Structure 1
Amino acid sequence: MIGVLNKLLKRSPRSDNGSIVLDSARKATGGKTRTRVVMTMTVFFGIYIAITGRLVWLGFQGPSDSGPPPSRVTASRPDIVDRNGEVLATDIRTSSLFAEPRHMVDADEAIEKLATVLPEIDYEQTYKKLKSGAGFVWLQRQLTPKQQSEIMQLGIPGIGFRTEKRRFYPAGETTSYVVGLTNIDNQGISGMEKYIDDQGLADLQQSGLAVARDLKPVKLSIDLRVQHIVRDEVATAMEKYHAIAAGGVVLNIKTGEVMAMASVPDFDPNNPYNAQEKDRLNRMSAGLYEMGSTFKSFTTAMALDSGKVTMDSKFDASRPITIGRQTIRDFHGKGRVLSVPEVFIYSSNIGSAKEADVVGIEGHREFLHRLGVLEKMKTELPEVAKPTEPKVWKKVHSITAAFGHGISTTPLQTAVGCAALMNGGFLIQPTFLTRTADQAMDVAKKVVSEKTVEGMRYLYTLNAEKGSGKNARVAGYRVGGKTGTAEKVINGRYSKDVRFNAFVAAFPMDDPQYIVLTIIDEPKPEKPGMGATAGSNAAPMVANIIRRSAPMLGVKPDFGQENAATMVSY
């Protein structure tokens, strides 16, 4: 630099006062500075262009395995609430543990440390994951806050946590079959959770549009208070009568809304470790059963609606009916001619068979299809079984179907069919969403006459007063109904000792608002020497449900007309 400066000094002219003129030096230096600035800007601009190009290129590439994959677990699901706004299902945040095997220092040490917090960890599977060399692997989903905190304190390099969403069900077992549940990826796999996915939520989640603030709660027809009562009563009955299963449903006759429905054994959707076990079945909508004498409601209604039978008609039930190799007898036969009301309250198999014979085979089959009990039920709940019937109906099939044998349907469909015999003759498909009476009439189908309905209301009331439904009565609530005690098929033959019992009831009988149907599978006598028919177990279940839930359903007691069975004119 000194040499360069000396040359500049020698070549630089002096001013009058002897100062050195450096103009040319400034020009030379200024030119070089500008060149450096331009070059620096060019380099930085080039780097910026390269980074931008790389980001654009990456934007068009598929996801790599260098980080957590996109997951529907981070997408929101709408809350599910009951008809009063009580939360039945909601999203909560949880953390899941992942590893980046490429950054793992010591897989063996990592597993040993993790096992101190997660003792259930699969050593072999986890070791394979950590040694895979992949960019990302899940190790444990949905940790508790305590587990997350303890794992963080282990200080294991190459692992991390991802915040996800999972479902929480405040009512637990109480609403398990209705609300359903989601899998570990927050996808609805049963109940109304699956229905919501099938209505488009799954597509919203996949597209990333399922944002919590945009998702309105899904309001069900269920009343959580009544649901708790029904679940409590069926669980108590299963234990009390030493049964293998039990269930119940409360149905709004005027709207078709399912107010409550429970089946036991059930499961806890917050910890559904046993949800796939064989006995975990929603027996009310997905279980098929021979419904026994509850079907006599349909047989008698069919006979009355045909116009060929009136309340004054008589049927000889003095002798059993033999057809082929089958002999039809009455359980508690009177051995005489019976009127239509007597056939109903004494639950005569012989009388019911003869009522069906008056209508004929084809007319019988058509009537049961008309009432929907042999059609696959249309409702929101995915778990719905398809009823079974003979491919070709013969006389023996019509006779046995008259008292609920030889064909199978679901308890919920039986309740829906009976509702049509109480609500003015309209078949209304059941719903698990809220619905008004006007909306119900838009989808209703007229299936029987008003006169038939009047007759069936009278018979239901009479049966609770003088027949097998006495144990279903509740003071002030005018209950009517029909028992059903069906022998179960064991090893290809009907067993006299193994039963499937049901009771279907309506109340209040002066203007029926609700159907309550209970079932109990293979009940035993409560105590030695006691009976095990529907009148001694399924009927008391109905009474308990009505006694506890009627005030919540808005039905006021009336003690002025206790079971006043007024004969209709025919």
Structure 2
Amino acid sequence: MICKPVLLKRGKAIKMRFPFIKPRLKSVEQHRKPAISAASSRNRVIIAMGCFIAVYSVIGGRLVQYGLTDIDQGRSYGSVDRNMAARPDLVDRNGVIMASDIRVASLYGEPRRIIDPDEAVEALSTVLPDVDYKEWHRKLSSGAGFVWLRREITPKQQAQVLALGIPGIGFRNETRRFYPGGPNTAHILGLVDIDNAGISGIEKYIDNQGVGTLQELGLDVSAELPPVKLSIDAGVQHIVRDELVRAMEKYRAIAAGAVILNANTGEVVAMSSVPDYDPNNPFNANDKDRLNRMAAGTYEMGSTFKAFTTAMALDSGKVTLNSRFDASKPIKIARFTINDFHGKKRVLTVPEVFIYSSNIGTAKMADVVGIDGHRAFLKKLGLLDMLKTELPETARPLEPKEWKKLNSITISFGHGVTTTPLQTAMAAAALVNGGKLINPTFLPRTKEQADAISEQVISAKTSAEMRYLFRLNVEQGSGRNAEVEGFYMGGKTGTAEKVVNGRYSNDVRFNAFLAAFPIDDPEYVILTIIDEPKPEEGNYSATAGLNAAPMVEAIIRRSASLLGIQPKFYTDREALQVSY
């Protein structure tokens, strides 16, 4: 009772002195914290134990799962390991390995573990050539966790670096592509990059079929990928390239090329273009003079086009082998005059136009068919469209925007349209195989498969007449130097003047020879090209009959047995009786 007035007075006094403060008086019971019950504590302990048990159960379960997983069935890895994904071997039609993966070591550094970058770089320079001191010092001083120093070193270099015993320097196994044949099939097989991904040729093609997707997903499999079989014959391929190198040296040319095509299936048995490069050391692969001229280069194919013009005229029904054309006078059109190289200056039959390679007679055959029919025929043969094949490196042919009579005349004998040599060989196969156009392939293909995708572009009768003309040209015309004793072959030369400074030059040529054998029932078409050949010693001319034709002869003579073609020597009955 005594305290109450005092408290009131004190409160009143405080309020009067500090009117903005309101006294807060709480009872002792209000200041006491509520007591925690034993049941509540027990519940909290149980919840905490449950959380710990759940977390460690998940961790334990994952460890068991990883322990039971067969890592050979599949695994994911970081971008650093992408180059460990294997590529399938590439093999030729007989199973010979043309490309395969090998394991190599690459050198890396861990800058955080490097004690003295200067000393480390100095020591590594005693083993590895061409060390970039400034760049390597920068990398090893960066404080990063991982840096590449040198990709793909030799086993000897790896052992020497290991002997140095530098902390923070290590090796990582990578996959490297190896080509046993070196430059033999460089333009066909193509290349892979530092991460073993295909960037050109068949290597890029097979990546586009799924191997590239596998690497992008970061997947590696234990089972080896089955090898990819090609239509190429490694032995024949070696012969072709060897003859091209010889021809370049012999005729002092700037380039040469050749292709052997199965006339009935479209399979490319061999194809080469020189200069080329070594895919195991492709430092010069992008040089402009090392492109694949057979598929990625376009050229005016010269008089080889006369074969297509002749076939067009015969197939139209407006011209026969007995038809005659006046080649006694040049053709004058606009400001141009069309002459023959070795003109007979008389009326010529169709076979004579072909074997004498008359520009005048060929132009008049094209005129019989007409401009629209001429262009339609070449398009039907696939000579005006981009070639469809497995090689990514294919060029698009060039033709006039508008075909006029002058264009049709010059194109009839191989000037005014550029196309790839591989396309020319494809179209030529249709002229001799019964009239079926078959897209070329670098993969195995049966005759049944080829027939299913083929297109009949000329009649069988016209094809038989073209085989006759091809053979006649080798017997009596410009193809004599391509004759191989025992092998019944035929062909057509092509000598095209090249454009220099906007004008056709009489001294700079692009030569070709188009051949098929055995010509009575052709199995193979061969096309050789040689760019800017010089006259052979003792000769004053460098036409196709003097260089491109002998190249075909050498290739057939060396490769016919590998191709399964047996020679036939025709003898009279008396000689046969004597031999018995």
TM range (shorter): 0.7 to 0.9
SS in structure 2 of the partner of residue 279 of structure 1: helix
Find the partner of 2:459 among 432, 437, 449: 449
CA contact (8 A) 1:482 1:503 kept: yes
**1:559 Cα deviation after fit:** 1.3
**Structure 1: how far apart are the matches of 2:215 and 2:486?**
51
Counterpart in the other structure of 1:110: 120
Does structure 1 residue 325 correspond to structure 2 residue 332?
no
- Out of 515, 521, 535, the position equivalent to 2:545 is 535
* 1:414-465 per-position Cα deviation (integer Å, ceiling 9, x unaligned): 0000000011100000000000000001110110011110110000000000
CA distance in 1, matches of 2:241, 2:571: 30
The aligned counterpart of 1:5 is none
Mapped contact 1:77–1:212 kept (Cα < 8 A): no
Query: Does 1:375 pair with 2:382?
Result: no
> Are 1:352 and 2:362 an aligned pair?
yes
* Matched AA of 2:357: S
User: Retained in 2: the 8 A contact 1:101–1:136?
Assistant: yes
Kindly indicate whether residue 373 of structure 2 is the aligned counterpart of residue 388 of structure 1: no
For 1:75-90, list aligned pairs within 5 A.
75-90=85-100
Cα distance in structure 1, aligned partners of 2:157 and 2:566:
52
TM-score (norm 1): 0.87
Which of 446, 456, 476 is the equivalent residue of 1:466? 476
Alignment pair present for 1:510 and 2:517: no
Q: Deviations over 1:138-176 (max 9, x none)?
A: 110001001111111111111110001011101111111
- TM-score, normalisation: structure 2: 0.85
Aligned twin of 1:141: 151
Q: Distance in 2 between the 1:211 and 1:193 partners?
A: 19
**1:49 and 2:59 matched:** no
Q: Residue type matched to 1:199 in 2? A: Q
Q: Does 1:151 align with 2:161?
A: yes
Q: 5+ residue gaps in structure 2?
A: 1-48, 67-76, 573-580
Q: Is the CA contact (8 Å cut-off) linking 1:78 and 1:212 kept in structure 2?
A: no
Is the Cα–Cα contact under 8 Å of residues 105 and 153 in structure 2 kept in the other structure?
A: yes
The 2-side partners of 1:76 and 1:532 are apart by 49
Moved over 6 A (4+): 45-48
Which AA in structure 2 matches 1:145? P
Query: Identity percentage over the alignment?
Result: 65
- 2:305 is the alignment partner of 1:298: no
d(CA) in 2 for partners of 1:90, 1:120: 28
For the 8 Å contact 2:79–2:218, the answer to whether it is kept is no
Q: 2:561 maps to what in 1?
A: 551
Distance 1:196 1:549 in 2: 29
Match in the other structure for 1:10: none
- Return the alpha-carbon distance in structure 2 between the equivalents of residues 472 and 250 of structure 1: 15
How far apart, CA to CA, are the structure 1 residues paired with 2:431 and 2:544? 21
How far is 1:51 from its partner?
10
Asked if 1:421 corresponds to 2:431, the answer is yes
* CA–CA distance in structure 2, aligned partners of residues 388 and 340 of structure 1: 28
Quote the Cα distance in structure 2 between the aligned partners of 1:359 and 1:48: 86
Q: What CA distance in whole angstroms lies between the structure 2 residues aligned with 1:186 and 1:212?
A: 17
Match of 2:443 among 427, 433, 436: 433
- Which secondary structure state, in structure 1, belongs to the residue aligned with residue 121 of structure 2? helix
CA deviation map 1:470-492 (0-9, x unaligned) = 00010111110000000000010
Does the 8 Å contact 1:201/1:210 carry over to 2? no
| Structure with max Cα Rg | 2
2:194 to 184, 195, 204: 184
**CA 1:561–1:191 in structure 2 vs 1: closer, same or farther (change >3 Å)?**
farther
How far apart in 1 are the matches of 2:432 and 2:466? Answer: 7
1:209, CA displacement in angstroms?
3.9
Confirm or deny that 1:170 pairs with 2:157.
no
Determine helix, strand or coil for the equivalent of 2:226: coil
Are the counterparts in 2 of residues 415 and 515 from structure 1 also a CA contact under 8 Å?
yes
CA drift of 1:47 comes to 13
Deviation at 1:208, TM superposition (A): 4.0
Aligned to 1:70, the other structure's residue is in SS state helix
CA 1:415 to 1:88, structure 2 compared with 1: closer, same or farther past 3 Å? Answer: same
Which range moved further: 97-106 or 307-316? 97-106
Q: Report SS of the residue matched to 1:310.
A: coil
When structure 1 is superposed on structure 2, of 119-128 and 496-505 the one drifting more is 119-128
Q: How does 1:202-351 map to 2 (within 5 A)?
A: 202-211=212-221, 213-351=223-361
Letter in 1 for 2:405: K
**Residue 530 of structure 1, CA deviation:** 3.8
- State how far apart, in whole Å, the 2-side matches of 1:522 and 1:127 are: 50
CA contact (8 A) 2:78 2:218 kept: no
The alpha-carbon distance between structure 1 residues 299 and 210, as it changes in their structure 2 partners (threshold 3 A), is: farther
Which runs of no fewer than 5 residues in structure 1 stay unpaired? 1-41, 60-66, 563-570
- Equivalenced residue count is 514
Structure 1, 98-107 or 543-552: larger mean CA deviation: 98-107
For 1:215-260, what per-residue CA distance to the aligned partner results, in whole angstroms no more than 9, with x for missing partners?
Answer: 1100000000110110100111011100000011100000000000
Cα deviation, residue 305, structure 1: 0.6
Give the alignment's Cα RMSD to 1 decimal. Answer: 2.3
**Distance (whole Å) between structure 2 residues aligned to residue 191 and residue 69 of structure 1:** 24
Q: Give, in whole Å, the separation in 1 of the partners of 2:139 and 2:78.
A: 14
Mapped contact 2:474–2:482 kept (Cα < 8 A): yes
